[in-house]
Structure 1
């Protein structure tokens, strides 16, 4: 089963695979971010590639039927701006830049992290057996869900984003990028909430292959505001960066 089942006319039925760790009735932000990225790609002007996406998470996205809308806000010769939304829960602003062929000499840095040697490690306690954590394959090169501090994890989708469709490179990275704060947490999950209120993803290029690597570190101010900073890679080298602003508070 996929994360979403298409219902036609921009509507989707959310499946249990979208379920996040905070609330059994709410989604992990990765799948809806990828669903919005898919909507952006579908109306992208020819020859332009998504270079940056900013997601504002107004409230938790429920595991329910969702409606996705997208529109081109501004289009120039070299740059375009596209908006997409799952109202009233999540909105996305995407910057697209015209991509050329061999405009400059290739200078891609060599890989600094490798999938070889990355291992599956235990998940933090959860109250449900099916969710985002089972729909994704996690393998750690550094750290783990149960260790505090920076971590490096490789993620791969076990399910398609939309039933019957092959995930695009953009949706593969978006469904994974929101996990940066989860793998690099600095606090005990049973005692604290550290929920991201947004997600910004910058992409130098889109990933090649099924695996996306997150090298993440989280910083938290005593006032309860946190920042998760993640370097994004694939097996060929760096692809971009993602950042999350965190709301941090004791559990009640």
Structure 2
């Protein structure tokens, strides 16, 4: 099995079995097959939004070739349930340029566009600018612990098992009282499998796999009774994270009209990497 995990590591005793050896298998240059590692908690025949977002970013980056460009902003729209199985990625350059370039991509499955993305790529050059801004220092990586999933939901969903979370604060629990106050979830996450089988996973891709969990990890309403569905994901990246562990500091806010927003600060051990934002539909199930 080609996976990021080391099954001989002592902390592996805290982890569930991997659902697959990767999120996708490449069938040809632009076609992929999803695996059980992409499974959504709501319907195992659909994909969680994180892996498709990362796959679109990967295909966008592949179009840059050797140009010194990095994704500085990406907006991903989920245009309906994302079916499991075979999918095709189409990429289109919207605005050319050596210093700033805009590229769009879409994921087609079962004859329709299921996910669409638009990214701004920004030129990079070591030493071109001074580092500025207030330093961001995340808390230390906690020790390994038993994994926690959404209360009262089937814990066998593939995407959930493909990630290792380490909570800085106490995670949600079945018996936790409803807390509608200003709650911040602080945790570290690690992607346990590659994005594409037998291919290296870029640091920004790992960041996007995790970023779409912002609304889930910070939700304050019981998931078996409430929907807080994000129709998309927006990520602004100062830089890609370094190393396997990524820190998220996430909050969700809901409003009486049935709308909400989830947002997260994303960092690694060296400091700030970027921000994620999601609009929310909030409604009783």
TM-score interval (norm. to shorter): over 0.9
Higher normalized strand content (fraction of residues)? 1
Contact kept, 8 Å, 2:153 with 2:224, in 1: the verdict is no
Q: Which residue does the alignment assign to 2:60? A: 40
Alignment of 1:194-233 (within 5 A): 194-233=228-267
Total equivalences in the alignment: 251
Q: Which residue does the alignment assign to 1:29? A: 49
Contact kept, 8 Å, 1:155 with 1:211, in 2: the verdict is yes
Structure 2: unaligned runs, 5 residues or longer: 1-20
Output the CA distance in 1 between the equivalents of 2:187 and 2:206: 14
Alignment of 1:91-240 (within 5 A): 91-107=116-132, 109-117=135-143, 119-124=145-150, 125-127=152-154, 129-146=156-173, 148=179, 149-240=183-274
SS at match of 1:39: helix
Deviation of the 1:118 alpha carbon: 6.9
The CA deviation string for residues 173-227 of structure 1, in whole angstroms up to 9 with x for no partner, is: 0000001111110101110111110100000111100111110000001111110
Output the CA distance in 1 between the equivalents of 2:233 and 2:136: 27
The CA deviation string for residues 39-59 of structure 1, in whole angstroms up to 9 with x for no partner, is: 111012601111000001110
TM-score (norm 2): 0.83
Contact kept, 8 Å, 2:149 with 2:155, in 1: the verdict is no
Bigger drift between 169-178 and 21-30 goes to 21-30
Contact kept, 8 Å, 2:41 with 2:157, in 1: the verdict is no
Deviation of the 1:229 alpha carbon: 0.9
Aligned in 2, Cα 1:184/1:143: closer, same or farther, shift over 3 Å? farther
Contact kept, 8 Å, 1:120 with 1:138, in 2: the verdict is no
Output the CA distance in 2 between the equivalents of 1:31 and 1:173: 10
Output the CA distance in 2 between the equivalents of 1:19 and 1:6: 18
Find runs of 4+ consecutive structure 1 residues off by over 3 angstroms.
116-121, 145-149
Tell me, yes or no, if structure 1 residue 242 matches structure 2 residue 269.
no
Output the CA distance in 1 between the equivalents of 2:36 and 2:144: 27
SS at match of 1:172: helix
Output the CA distance in 2 between the equivalents of 1:58 and 1:130: 22
Aligned in 2, Cα 1:181/1:143: closer, same or farther, shift over 3 Å? farther
Deviation of the 1:104 alpha carbon: 2.1
Deviation of the 1:101 alpha carbon: 1.7
